Structure 1
Amino acid sequence: MRALSSLLLLVAIPAALAVKSHDFKTCSQAGFCRRGRALSARAAAHPQWTSPYSVDADSLSISSDQATFTAGVKSAIYPDIKFGLEVRVHDDGVVRVKMDEVGGLRKRYDEAASWALIAEPKISKDIQWTVGTKDIRAVYGDKKDVEVVVSFEPLTVTLYRNGKEQVVLNGRGLLHLEHFRKKEDAKPEEVTSEEALESEGTQQVLKTPNLHAWFEGEEEDALWEETFSSWTDTKPKGPESLSIDITFPNHGHVYGIPQHASSLDLRTTTGESPYYTDPYRLYNADTFEYLADSTMSLYGSIPVMHAHSADSTVAVFNAVGSETWIDIAHSSVSSTETHWISESGILDVFIMPGPTPKDIFAQYTRLTGTQALPADWSLGYHQCRWNYVSSEDIRAVQKKFDEEDIPVDVFWLDIEYAEEHKYFIWDKKNFPDPVDMTNDVAASSRKMVVIIDPHFKRTSSYPVYQEAVDRGLIVKQKDGQTDYEGWCWSGSSAWVDFFNPAAWDWWKTLFKTYKLGDDKFSWTESTEDVFIWNDMNEPSIFNGPEISMPRDNIHYGGWEHRDLHNINGMLFSNLTSQAITVRGEVPKRPFVLTRAFYAGSQRFGAMWTGDNLGTWEHMAVGIKMVLANSIAGFAFTDVGGFFGNPDPEMLVRWYHVGAFSPFFRAHAHIDTKRREPYLLDEPYKGMVKDILRRRYSMLPIWYTAFREASTTGLPVARPHYVAFPKDEAGFSLDDQYFIGSSGLLVKPVTEKGAKEATVYLPPNELFYDYDSYNLYRSPATGKKITVAAELDQLPLFILGGSILPTRERPRRSSSVMRHDPITLQVALDASSSARGELYLDDGVTFNHQQGQIVWREFSAEKSGKGIKISSRDLTTQHLASAVDSVALTTYDPANAFAQSISSVRVEKIAVLGLGAKPSSVKVVGGKELEWEYSSGVSASGKKEGSSSLLVIKDPAVSVASDWEIVVQA
């Protein structure tokens, strides 16, 4: 059965089709997780337990820039083992805490951060450390309200704001770096509790005769070898796991650590009444047909966690690339304890002080980068299945979309396009003319996406494989010499080691669309209208442990696969993205969809939520997963189903979900019936067509939201706690969300047979129903409203004070809409004001980085007894305040792109909530305009009901120019 992708659409799946849980480990089946949890249990059973790790104050050294200090760390249990500690404060207030074994038998893997970070962070020049007898501390921030304190004995790191604890590392004493040792060595000399009490810096009061046995366990547990199912992990380096407890003493809600099919607000996994019995697991795995409510690992891993309260938001990024388990305990309504247990690596934790969600996103993306600004066409509708069977099949599908006047931007090909699953090599029996086929698609302003998986068929007749072998680029077996062989779609397969720098330039050459020479392969049967889908890159290996690669395989630099497993898939999509960017003479924005990902993957493309089931439960949890991925930096995600044959009701509901997801793709398993939207009977076909057209009408909103994500890190799909961080009633909401800063609130319907839906509105706000224009007022406590949600309806609202730009002319694809006029929907707030943004560029190249853009702010404000609606250039405004990244020397409001769309006009303005019928509407310095007004409740009044509506007809003002329209009462 195909263990691959999914997005949109599915229905009832037989109960027998469900994840095979026995293929994947639980914590109790992973030796290092067992050991970490056992330490936690022993510590909890002895309330007076404190960590054996302490700072050697005599070794303290403060750098000349005063922002960094280093010190030695010693353990009361292993006095001969030395550790080094480094703490530094970045110029944005982020605190980085690193700890590693010093002078050990081996080196621990310390490269995870180097793959995730965009650059070495800038260190603050304003930090002054104060050294005391018990700790070292620094106070900083514009208001001097942030303090970081490193206590010596036991070692703890605490971040404070206004004297209030925000984040505590090792507060529960669970820090432990299992030091390297020799298998034949005897256990360290036993240290009794009495002796420990006499040793400097130790505060143990336990009544055990042997602290070593107490700390690491009475018996050795999978230190040197471990068996799971039929596979044995030899563990040649022995034990090397890392454990750290991170507590958020004044934050009762935590989010993040994707990817899991779970609620956005992370649930308790330990204690007296846990919701889950296993910790959340981060281990990239091909968990197809996954459970809809579970802590099981899925395809990607981002070890970042937000902690939130009405007072502040903080976050941690734990830069580790190995398998990691995270226990969560909500010890009270306002406090959360977490315990992170990793198989290998060093302690490298970034503490982000916030104090707002917006600050957290800025701090995190300064570390790992923002979402890449995608090509505009990639925000349209993508049509995919496993598999369109031939060139003529693709042509026929495109023809049917056009005949039914249904918009689509991209057609996808799964693995069957490739001869014997040798990627880059077309099956000429079914795809005899791949370039002509692609050109036929491109002639209708559309693109192709073709799958390239990371496993290569082991045969000398496959040039890609043979070149990789000749260059020595294949991942090795545990002996470090023999090329690894596994089994995947290609049969006997090999995997390129993308940690090897020698693979990088070679991989880029494969995507060139012209011949490089007789002895070099390039994809000449491709064009610049073909983009890439990277699947199976966890990596997925059918005959491997947990359907993946053996942990003792060897990568470049001698590192074991266990050390970097979660990073592996990111390098594949990273290099593919670079290859697509530079394949032509003019660099163009790539589109690469990846299934596996890590922190920083957002820089390289899109991801999706994997092989889910066609059930209502999976539809619902997909929304939660999109939100979790979004707050971890990945704005470009999707939702959907893969297995089964959807009934029309589920299909329509899932199209609504997809249309309001950042990435919108329909996909289906090879065994499913064809379900392209034009195959539906009425009224369902008409419903889906309307949904697709709405997506296309809102593309300016989506593209503007992606611009914001690409510069600030703020997510495109925005959870309630991000939009309204003070509203405690919304902290756990994950079934409704906002689209960027647009003011659009969406509540997808994910229940069978639903006729209505309940929507929560935050305090003291106005919301307008997008379709009926009904106005709702929310009191100081917020409120829930019940609205109609028939199958053809999606609860969708505009926040009062917002202005939405849309394009309302139906087209076959997004590319042909670039010069269409704009409609503005102005939703007034109680003070009769509103604002919104529109961002445009050529949508394809990188010319926007040289200032070839149009970025406008639209505003409405009270003017006398009426209102004034205006447009102004936002880039100039932001450059003046040094907010935006476009260099002032390269930006001109009359840039070439702005001139190219000077004829693009605003063709309609709809104003909601105006207080009274106007007496005139005119462009300042111009003519009186035509308009219509229908009475209803006003934004400045007190009543709810149908809003007043003013429609200004064809003001004919340019979207690239400054203008003002006065609405006179």
Structure 2
Amino acid sequence: MFGRITDYKVNNQIVEIKFEKRSGQVEIINESIVNIFAALETQEHRSKAIENFQKKQVSYHVEREEDCIVITTSKVTVKVYDEFKVDFYDKDGKVLCKDYRGRRQRGIVLTEEDAELMAGEGHEVEDAPEDYSIQILKELEGDEAFYALGDKTGFLNKRNYVYEMWNTDNPAPQVDSFKALYKSIPFFITLKKDSVYGIFFDNTYRSYFDMGKESSKYYYFGCDNGNLDYYFIAGDKMTDIVTGYTYLTGTVPVPQLWTLGHHQSRWGYKSEKEVRQIAKKFRDNDIPCDTIHLDIDYMDEFKVFTWNKERYEDPKKMIGDLKKDGFKIVTIIDPGVKLQEGYHIYDEGVEKGCFATTPEGEIYVNAVWPGDSVYPDFGKPEVRSWWANNQRYLLDMGVRGVWNDMNEPASFRGELPQDVVFYDEELRATHSKMHNVYGHLMSKATYEGLKENDKKRPFVITRACYSGSQKYSTAWTGDNHSIWAHLQMAIPQLCNLGLSGMSYVGTDVGGFGSDTTPELLARWVQVGCFSPLFRNHSCMGTIRQEPWQFGEEIMNIYRKYVQLRYELLPYFYDLFFKGETTGLPVMRPLILHYEKDQNLRDRNDEFLLGENILVAPVVNQGDTQKLIYLPEGLWIDYWTKEEKKGGSYYVKEAPLDVCPIYIKAGSIIPNYPKQSYVGDKEIDTLILDIYLGEGKYKHYQDDGESFDYKDGKYNEYLFTINSEGIFTAELPNKGYEKEYKGFVLKYNNTEKYVEFNGDKLTVKLV
């Protein structure tokens, strides 16, 4: 495809390499990140994930050796050979990643007769594998584990699995063999025994990832269209790779504090009366809740930016009344616009040229909830602006957030043809190129509309996304089911999304499709309360799963974990505050911080919140004990305060109301007092749950909703505890007018209130 190297030149950290047949380039992004690029479709990257990016100026060296070109920074060495084969080495010359020089091996190829036999009984028969026009094969040394890749099904470690990046709406119960779901995040982390690296394949067409299933000699990623465009990210540890990837694609902005509370949803809450009853039930049963979500039933004939005035007589008044009791309303919006002359959104869109077209220039029509529908072309800046402005309709009603659904884009009359015309900014493109970024661009438009018209940090939820969507939107994992397998899958799925830059994510607590059971709901809320996005959501036609539906015992368990979530809100908020700088997720697999521990490579049923809290939920029906592995260090049982030494397995008694939780020694965990919703009470005293040992902790305090924190208008507290039991509180950054008057120090089953003068406080605890 490329041929032999004939020449090269260097220009502003770009090494342009001429081959016999075409050119390629290696661009140095910073000391640890390099981009491998060949202009096969466009001369520019035209990335949708990497925006407003500032390349760092670094020192580097380039030289020509006999068989390759060598590019060296302080962190990584890149060797480029004939045919644009590229190998990567660390600063000490150790191999990190090498291109495989052989040809692909073919997997199982059925005869035509055997394929017909299988198809006759209903088995899915795949075509024989073929080479892709863009195809990168990397050597396998044998000890690799693979992580990230977005919201793919199955387990944490993706070794020996195959996947496709093609946003797909499939409401069937998702199993390990699913190759594609709602999101396309073509980034993965490779962990070896003594090294780690990441690769981001920035190509929006349907792409393919084989993580060693086809052969034990190589893994590959490939695509049939677009540019050869991937980023190699080196680092000393896994956290470096996540930080490097989010350095490219962006980090999650700090959300409004109320959005971290408990959310309740169902398809469908069909009337104002029903929504008011749901809200009252939460308050009557003393179960904290901040948000009620309205699915498609609130709309008039499922037309976006309308309201059904028969079911909701006065939605603005309803929202205002609920606001007085602490509830916020989030409404769903789909991209499909009903084809109906006289409907203002359709008429405006036609007039402004906002909708995707056929190759012949006619507006393309498919069907979703409203029936015949047309699709906004979010690839056009002017369409995104039009869509952004339409958010004012919802905001004027009092809506506090927007839930983007069906934005793969979904369609009821078969998938949109590949040649439907969409735009890539100013360039005419096709559905095949823009499909995977459709939801991403819709979220961007929604975010910008809320930001401009509300002036607060936007709360946007999306089902479909691409790399970089974390800058604009939260996400949930789509239409899961009320089955134990999906509770089990929630942990690795959310952890891999976090490693993929999507830190603000959750699953539908209790499951969306199928019917939940009392035990399943009780165990699911024990995962949900620790998930960054905490929402109970279920499908019309299934058993209702609000907390009170299964009697007093289950409701008490549900309340216990929702209340625990509200106690931990300042800890969650701090993780988001830190994550905007570091890119590190809230919910993390243990391997992220203990990558040398072989026991954790495939640990699917435990996770960390930050570095201080380890959660090991029960995820098997009927289990009342849990086999737990604790990594190195000293850990304290949250419930019993019993100390456990890390590096060992333990059996924890876990009846239905107990989710095993462990706190790392030396941790200082900020807590809020009991409240029914965020803003329920003025919090001028912070509770600090202290676990003796050596440690430090930074806590952030601001108004919880505006962008003022970006201008330094926040308080940063530094808490420390040393081996002698001396606690210290300082306030190194005073940017927010409200300060805590004091702290409640909890340690060794005692509580002590201490006043804080806004300067420095020292207390001897033991």
Sequence identity percentage: 28
Q: 2:200 aligns with which of 317, 325, 335?
A: 317
Post-superposition CA distance 1:95-147 (Å, at most 9, x none): 1000123xxxxxx2577652100234415341120112311112221xxx631
Judging changes above 3 Å, is the alpha-carbon distance between structure 1 residues 389 and 153 closer, same or farther for their aligned structure 2 residues?
closer
Post-superposition CA distance 1:497-519 (Å, at most 9, x none): 0111111222222122xxxxxxx
Alignment of 1:28-177 (within 5 A): 53-58=2-7, 60-63=8-11, 65=12, 67-74=13-20, 82-101=21-40, 108=41, 114-141=47-74, 146-152=76-82, 155-169=85-99, 171-172=101-102
- In the alignment, residue 475 of structure 2 is paired with which amino acid? M
Q: 2:439 aligns with which of 551, 566, 569?
A: 569
Paired residues of 2:5 and 2:81 also in contact (CA < 8 A) = no
Runs of 5+ consecutive residues of structure 1 not aligned to the other structure: 1-51, 75-81, 102-107, 176-228, 230-238, 270-278, 513-521, 877-892, 912-948
Does residue 449 of structure 2 align to residue 591 of structure 1?
A: no
Post-superposition CA distance 1:692-738 (Å, at most 9, x none): 10111111111111112111001111111112122222122121011
- In the alignment, residue 654 of structure 2 is paired with which amino acid? A
2:551 maps to which residue?
681
SS of the residue aligned with 1:116? coil
Does residue 685 of structure 2 align to residue 821 of structure 1?
A: yes
Distance across 1 between alignment mates of 2:290 and 2:56: 45
Moved more, 675-684 or 377-386: 675-684
Paired residues of 1:91 and 1:123 also in contact (CA < 8 A) = yes
Q: 2:660 aligns with which of 781, 787, 795?
A: 795
Post-superposition CA distance 1:264-285 (Å, at most 9, x none): 101314xxxxxxxxx2111100
Q: 1:253 aligns with which of 122, 133, 145?
A: 145
Distance across 1 between alignment mates of 2:730 and 2:193: 35
Q: 1:651 aligns with which of 521, 525, 539?
A: 521
SS of the residue aligned with 1:726? coil
Distance across 2 between alignment mates of 1:124 and 1:338: 32
Distance across 1 between alignment mates of 2:759 and 2:475: 36
Compute the displacement of 1:953 (Å). Answer: 2.0
Compute the displacement of 1:469 (Å). Answer: 0.8
- In the alignment, residue 302 of structure 1 is paired with which amino acid? I
Post-superposition CA distance 1:830-863 (Å, at most 9, x none): xxx232232221110001011111222211113x
Paired residues of 1:121 and 1:367 also in contact (CA < 8 A) = no
Paired residues of 2:440 and 2:469 also in contact (CA < 8 A) = yes
Alignment of 1:617-696 (within 5 A): 617-640=485-508, 641-696=511-566
Paired residues of 1:720 and 1:734 also in contact (CA < 8 A) = no
TM-score, structure 2 normalization = 0.92
Compute the displacement of 1:312 (Å). Answer: 2.3
Alignment of 1:761-800 (within 5 A): 761-763=630-632, 765-778=633-646, 782-800=647-665
SS of the residue aligned with 1:825? strand
Compute the displacement of 1:605 (Å). Answer: 1.7
Distance across 1 between alignment mates of 2:46 and 2:706: 30
Compute the displacement of 1:554 (Å). Answer: 0.9
SS of the residue aligned with 1:420? coil
Paired residues of 2:315 and 2:397 also in contact (CA < 8 A) = yes
Paired residues of 2:100 and 2:218 also in contact (CA < 8 A) = no
How many matched pairs? 737
Does residue 610 of structure 2 align to residue 740 of structure 1?
A: yes
Post-superposition CA distance 1:227-281 (Å, at most 9, x none): xx9xxxxxxxxx9842211335475111111221111101314xxxxxxxxx211
Compute the displacement of 1:748 (Å). Answer: 1.2
Paired residues of 1:54 and 1:155 also in contact (CA < 8 A) = no
1:506 maps to which residue?
386
Judging changes above 3 Å, is the alpha-carbon distance between structure 1 residues 856 and 110 closer, same or farther for their aligned structure 2 residues?
farther
Judging changes above 3 Å, is the alpha-carbon distance between structure 1 residues 426 and 728 closer, same or farther for their aligned structure 2 residues?
same
TM-score, structure 1 normalization = 0.73
- In the alignment, residue 601 of structure 2 is paired with which amino acid? F
- In the alignment, residue 900 of structure 1 is paired with which amino acid? K
Distance across 2 between alignment mates of 1:669 and 1:839: 38
Post-superposition CA distance 1:795-826 (Å, at most 9, x none): 0000112111112x321102225515222122
Distance across 2 between alignment mates of 1:336 and 1:352: 22
2:126 maps to which residue?
none
Paired residues of 2:190 and 2:197 also in contact (CA < 8 A) = yes
- In the alignment, residue 25 of structure 2 is paired with which amino acid? E
Post-superposition CA distance 1:345-391 (Å, at most 9, x none): 11001000112112112211110000121111111000000011111
Paired residues of 1:354 and 1:360 also in contact (CA < 8 A) = yes
Compute the displacement of 1:460 (Å). Answer: 1.6
2:739 maps to which residue?
901
- In the alignment, residue 727 of structure 2 is paired with which amino acid? I
Alignment of 1:213-362 (within 5 A): 241-247=133-139, 249=141, 252-269=144-161, 279-329=162-212, 337-362=218-243
Compute the displacement of 1:555 (Å). Answer: 1.1
SS of the residue aligned with 1:166? strand
Compute the displacement of 1:957 (Å). Answer: 3.0
2:582 maps to which residue?
712
Compute the displacement of 1:530 (Å). Answer: 2.7
Paired residues of 1:803 and 1:826 also in contact (CA < 8 A) = yes
Post-superposition CA distance 1:44-85 (Å, at most 9, x none): xxxxxxxx6434323x2222x4x22112234xxxxxxx4220
Distance across 1 between alignment mates of 2:213 and 2:271: 54
2:311 maps to which residue?
430
Judging changes above 3 Å, is the alpha-carbon distance between structure 1 residues 371 and 448 closer, same or farther for their aligned structure 2 residues?
same
Alignment of 1:609-620 (within 5 A): 609-620=477-488
Paired residues of 1:535 and 1:596 also in contact (CA < 8 A) = yes
Compute the displacement of 1:540 (Å). Answer: 0.2
- In the alignment, residue 530 of structure 1 is paired with which amino acid? R
Does residue 765 of structure 2 align to residue 967 of structure 1?
A: yes
2:356 maps to which residue?
475
Compute the displacement of 1:292 (Å). Answer: 2.6
Distance across 2 between alignment mates of 1:676 and 1:110: 53
Alignment of 1:465-614 (within 5 A): 465-479=346-360, 481-512=361-392, 522-523=393-394, 526-527=397-398, 529-545=399-415, 549-556=416-423, 557-584=427-454, 587-614=455-482
Distance across 1 between alignment mates of 2:218 and 2:699: 42
Runs of 5+ consecutive residues of structure 2 not aligned to the other structure: 106-121, 123-130
Compute the displacement of 1:538 (Å). Answer: 0.3
1:854 maps to which residue?
715
Paired residues of 2:379 and 2:434 also in contact (CA < 8 A) = no
1:13 maps to which residue?
none
SS of the residue aligned with 1:669? coil
1:890 maps to which residue?
none
Distance across 1 between alignment mates of 2:153 and 2:492: 8
Judging changes above 3 Å, is the alpha-carbon distance between structure 1 residues 444 and 111 closer, same or farther for their aligned structure 2 residues?
farther
Alignment of 1:194-205 (within 5 A): none
SS of the residue aligned with 1:577? helix
Judging changes above 3 Å, is the alpha-carbon distance between structure 1 residues 154 and 312 closer, same or farther for their aligned structure 2 residues?
closer
Aligned-residue RMSD, C-alpha: 2.2
Does residue 728 of structure 2 align to residue 870 of structure 1?
A: yes
Distance across 2 between alignment mates of 1:376 and 1:247: 45
- Which contiguous aligned blocks of 4+ residues in structure 1 show a shift greater than 6 angstroms? none
